[in-house]
Structure 1
Amino acid sequence: MDRYSRAIASISKLTDLDQLRNFRNNALSEGATEVADAAFKRLVSLCPSEAPGSIEHDFWSTIHAFEELLREERGKTVRLSRTRQKISRVGVIQTLIDFAKNKTPTDGFLMLIERGLPELTGEALILKHKDVFEYDVQQAATQRLEAAAVNIEELIYSFKSALALESATNSSLGRT
């Protein structure tokens, strides 16, 4: 197992957000983007309190991802106040629908795409949880992702791979 593989294996067990941020920062300073990405994805997956695998958990992971990127960029904690207020008013599902149907992409979408994290966009969540959304919403999400040069087949495959890995991990740990 090489150095990065050990680091990534270690990251998968961490639950302390500050340790994950330190891992990410150290990896970025060493040019180990694979390690930095693993730390970032683990960090944003731990933030939501909702049940893992649910659309709500995935949505809040997206919100936390954008807030974390803004935190890194600005050097201070940033909360998406307007988005959080909208969620309180209309809920997660309607917020995602509005993201997809809006004529222009959100700043979060653009920032996540720019950083190579299309799987964390609201539009990607619509495709991941397509049974929740009507066809026209799925189409709007697909068109937005395709316009950003995201390979939809690879994106869907990454969802299935992550789900299989999560299922295998839970099985080996005796979870259902």
Structure 2
Amino acid sequence: MSDLSKETRAAIERIRVLEDPARLRNMIANARRLKNAEVEREAFNRLCVVQPEATPGTVEFDVWRAIHALEEMFRDERGKTVRLTRTRQKITKDGEARTVSDLVLKPEASAGFPALVERGFPGLTFEAVVLSHPKTFDDEIQQAAKDRLHGAGVDMSELLGEKES
């Protein structure tokens, strides 16, 4: 962070303690207007962290973080609230881990996968959730996740670093 301007560093420090989604969305909009990609990315990452109600570090938290991230991206693009209704319904019926497993094992990636990868957030995909929780997902699911990420050109060595930001 030392190569960033004083203003950018100060904004990032403020972002890291914010809990209010509305204020974070405002920071994203301001950063976009000012063409400050570092602040925009930091505010977006923080927004995805503060929205899930699950405990950080759990499969549930990572799944909801991914859902909120994708919904925010679609909200920004379309100018209106977008909910991943079918995914949310499946989670209600089958739970987070089963929903992720089923989607990762499908021959075709879900619409969220390329959307997140193309925007530079492969660490927020359900495939990344699988790799982050190897005790929850069996070898077949882990291999499917690795294959999909590799097929999309995701650098696996950078994946974990992106996930933790």
Do they superpose with TM above 0.5?
Answer: yes
**Within the alignment, does 1:8 sit opposite 2:25 as a pair?**
no
Offset of residue 157 of structure 1 = 4.3
Residues 138-157 of structure 1 show CA distances to partners (whole Å, capped at 9, x for unaligned) of: 00000100111111122134
Identify which of 138, 142, 146 aligns with 2:150: 146
Q: CA RMSD in A?
A: 1.3
Contiguous gaps of at least 5 residues in structure 2: none
**How many pairs align?**
161
After TM superposition, the score normalised by the length of structure 2 is 0.93
Alignment partner, residue 50 of structure 1: 54
Identify which of 86, 96, 99 aligns with 2:100: 96
- What is the letter of the counterpart of residue 126 of structure 2? G
- What is the letter of the counterpart of residue 62 of structure 1? A
Give me the whole-angstrom Cα distance separating, in 1, the residues matched to 2:127 and 2:18.
Answer: 28
Alignment partner, residue 62 of structure 1: 66
Q: Which has the higher helix share?
A: 1
Give me the whole-angstrom Cα distance separating, in 2, the residues matched to 1:137 and 1:61.
Answer: 20
Give me the whole-angstrom Cα distance separating, in 1, the residues matched to 2:96 and 2:19.
Answer: 25
- What is the letter of the counterpart of residue 63 of structure 2? F
- What is the letter of the counterpart of residue 67 of structure 1? E
Offset of residue 107 of structure 1 = 0.9
- What is the letter of the counterpart of residue 61 of structure 2? H
The list of structure 1 runs, each at least 4 consecutive aligned residues, that deviate by more than 3 angstroms after superposition, is none
- What is the letter of the counterpart of residue 91 of structure 1? G
Percentage of identical aligned residues: 43
**Within the alignment, does 1:83 sit opposite 2:75 as a pair?**
no
Offset of residue 39 of structure 1 = 0.4
After TM superposition, the score normalised by the length of structure 1 is 0.88
Give me the whole-angstrom Cα distance separating, in 2, the residues matched to 1:73 and 1:32.
Answer: 18
Residues 125-148 of structure 1 show CA distances to partners (whole Å, capped at 9, x for unaligned) of: 100111111111000000100111
**Within the alignment, does 1:38 sit opposite 2:42 as a pair?**
yes
Whose RCO is larger (CA < 8 A, sep 6+)?
2
**Within the alignment, does 1:28 sit opposite 2:53 as a pair?**
no
Give me the whole-angstrom Cα distance separating, in 2, the residues matched to 1:157 and 1:31.
Answer: 24
**Secondary structure in 1 matching 2:95:** helix
Alignment partner, residue 140 of structure 2: 136
Contiguous gaps of at least 5 residues in structure 1: 166-176
